[in-house]
Copies of this chain bind each other. A is one copy, B any other.
Amino acid sequence: MNKVILLDKRPAGVPEVSDFKFVEEEMPSAKAGEVLLKTRFVSVDPYLRGRMRDVKSYVAPFQLGEPITSALVVEVVRSLNDKIKEGDFFVGYLPWKEYQTSTGEGLTKIDPEAASLSAYLGVLGATGLTAYIGLKEIGLPKAGQTVVVSGAAGAVGNVVGQIAKIMGCRVIGLAGSDAKIETLKSKYQYDEGINYKTTKNLAAEIEKLCPEGVNIYFDNVGGEVSDAVYANLTYKARIIVCGAIALYNEDEPALAPRVEWRLVVNSATMTGFLLSDFADLLPAGVQQLTTWFKEGKLSQSETIIKGFDQIPEAFIGLFEGQNNGKMVVEI
């Protein structure tokens, strides 16, 4: 039998395991022109929480009783398609199933020799592209400028820091534990890190570390830590609103001090960033990331949870900051 994970209930607040349902179905078999895919790695991402909500958004919501879909690394275990070989690996947006059939449409072939399989969900996948394209196209970084990153030890954040350093910026990361702060500096090339959970006056601490103000704020979090960064913007600052993990579980947006006047007094810009708006830049982006990766300038960082049954827990763990780098589930 084949294992499948469905959305059983729309979560209220932080998702719980009981919001998901494990079911078994007949093992699928490939028809002519199709391949049978075995799931090897599953990407769990904060944005999936948004799709569990039944509201208008940039992607359609998940339907109750239907499988969750995310980025998967799959292996071809049987092929009835001339163009695809058994043993080939692909990445694609696919349902949470142990096995599934496909014509190959919408899947991208990956090279297991060039990097580990899971890297294609992280630094060489949508995660790395989000960091690279968001920083480059919206952040417009220049050497010598100061970049602040929230969720700095997270999947996107750690790559933003590394790329900002490659681009010659000074990079300060915000994260939620001393261990993560240590990792920011030792592994991700961050110049400075601030533990926002233990820092009493976060705005003052940012001011101390960014005496000339913040040129670029790459925001992966979206909650109160952002207000402390907004207080330190400099002229023509660019804010990239990439994720809002702190808000995903709220029914109503939290109240916060209005940010509009901060933008006016600094001629600053705040932009909501979706990778899918930059589809034409993705091939060149993957190429650049792969080059840096092979040159050893970009390190892969991930938290690997094992077992198909653990996918919901791994996803829920994102909201508790259990990941260091990209969170993936190995099947």
Contact = CB atoms under 8 A, between A and B. Distances in A.
B265 A58 contact: yes
A219 B260 contact: yes
A269 B270 contact: yes
A277 to B, nearest CB: 5
Contacts of A254: 257-258
A6 to B, nearest CB: 24
A264 B267 CA distance: 20
A268 interface: yes
A271 to B, nearest CB: 4
A179 B84 CA distance: 70
Given A244-B260, A247-B261, A255-B256, A272 B269 contact: yes
A27 interface: no
Contacts of A25: none
Contact of A267 (B258, B259, B262, B272): B272
Contacts of A226: 260
Interface in A295-330: none
Contact of A272 (B253, B257, B264): B264
A247 B260 CA distance: 9
Q: Count identical subunits in the complex.
A: 2
A247 B267 CA distance: 17
Given A267-B273, A271-B268, A273-B267, A244 B261 contact: yes
Contacts of A252: 257
Contacts of A271: 263, 267-270
A266 interface: yes
Nearest to A244: B261
A274 interface: yes
Nearest to A226: B260
A197 to B, nearest CB: 20
Nearest to A268: B272
Contacts of A242: 264
Contacts of A56: 265
Interface string A219-234: 1001000100000000
9 contacts: A58-B235, A222-B260, A244-B264, A252-B257, A253-B257, A263-B272, A264-B273, A264-B274, A267-B271
By Cβ-Cβ distance, the 8 closest A-B pairs, closest first, are A263-B272, A264-B272, A253-B257, A255-B255, A253-B258, A269-B271, A270-B270, A244-B261
Given A222-B258, A269-B270, 6 more contacts: A58-B265, A222-B260, A247-B258, A263-B271, A268-B271, A269-B272
